Amino acid sequence: MKFDFSKLEKMKQELQKKVQFIAENFSEKPKDIVEYLKFKTKFYNYSSRNCSLIYQQRPGAVFCNSFKAFKDMGYSVKKGEHGMKILVPTIKTYLHIGDDLIPLSKSTAEQKKAYNLNQIKSEQKLYFKVGTVFDITQTNCPPQDYPKYIDIGYSSEQHAELYKVLKNYCKNNLNCPVNENNLSSVALRGYYDPENNEISISKNFDDTTKLSILSHETGHAVMHKSSKANKKPTAQIEFEADAVSIMLHTYMGIEIVESRQRHISNALKEMQKSTDYTPEMLTKSLEQSHKAFKDIVDGINQEFNPELIQHQETATATIQQPILPNQISNMGFTQSM
């Protein structure tokens, strides 16, 4: 049976509309952004767009994987369960045959042999196909096994050590030293200096509070060091740092206080007042914040809990596919889908 590519394209367009709907909905209910960001911490190995798709289709999801991946893990999807549609990146190889580009999959045996011997020029192109994932609650995996696969983050007892680990991440990965000072104002808890690429934190707080402050300033250090990033409106810069901070708070077991929720909600409202504002701008900010959060968490886990990274990469290996970075930028998508 011939595959209907027009149907596939229609499905992809529908999924993109779902992503856009999320951004448009926050225009009506800015406070919902906090719940959405908390949800995304469960799926930091997915792209921001696929997090949006999972959230839109199953907001109660906790751990998602493909049908085959769950089967490989020893579990079966329950009969009658409907999966969630996501966009899965895939790379196709094309051969230069004369003036034509021929898909490697459709080339002759002779052409494939020449390709394997590097005798034919080739190139790769990035495409997105529609994939299906299921939540672990849709399988026969017993709830007592969930902790094997669900990253529950860290406890409050670990905040002192996490603070040290995050300071080391800033110094070693971002070349951004973190200084503890007696700041001039009691109200000034900390700040990021993009010109000198350094963070200052008030020393007059407990470990949990210092970790909370540092999470926000680390968001700035990751996202707003370049002169191009600093040309963004102030409200957008604060929104992005708050987004990273809220995801880190959730992941590290820090309470998201009302003032933090109010701050990001107000930053979003200010963004939306701009004459240049579009829902696409918010989508882009969320994508960049999501990537920054993932980079920071990977850095923390690499030092604090390296076994966790190895386990998660194994558990999601069937979904995470290799992508060429230069092709990603051309598509307007983040690297991990």
Number of C-beta neighbours around residue 305 at 10 A: 15
Spatial contact of 199 and 192, defined as CB atoms under 8 Å apart? yes
What is the full DSSP assignment across 32-54? Answer: HHHHHHHHHGGGTTS-HHHHHHH
Terminal Cα-to-Cα distance of the chain (whole angstroms)? 29
What per-residue confidence (pLDDT) applies to 185?
60
pLDDT in tens, 105-124: 888 898 888 888 888 888 88
What per-residue confidence (pLDDT) applies to 170?
95
In one letter, which amino acid is 175? N
Q: What is the mean pLDDT of the chain?
A: 81
pLDDT in tens, 22-68: 777 776 677 788 888 989 888 878 888 899 899 989 989 999 999 99
pLDDT in tens, 59-110: 899 999 999 999 999 999 999 999 999 988 888 889 898 888 888 888 889 8
| Cα 86–Cα 63–Cα 246 angle in degrees, nearest 5 | 90
User: Rounded CA gap, 104 and 123, in Å?
Assistant: 10
Residues 6 or more apart whose Cβ sits within 8 Å of residue 241: 216, 217, 219, 220, 223, 224
Spatial contact of 208 and 159, defined as CB atoms under 8 Å apart? yes
User: Rounded CA gap, 228 and 140, in Å?
Assistant: 49
Q: Domain extents for the chain?
A: 5-148, 156-304
User: Rounded CA gap, 92 and 130, in Å?
Assistant: 15
Segment 285-295 mean pLDDT: 92
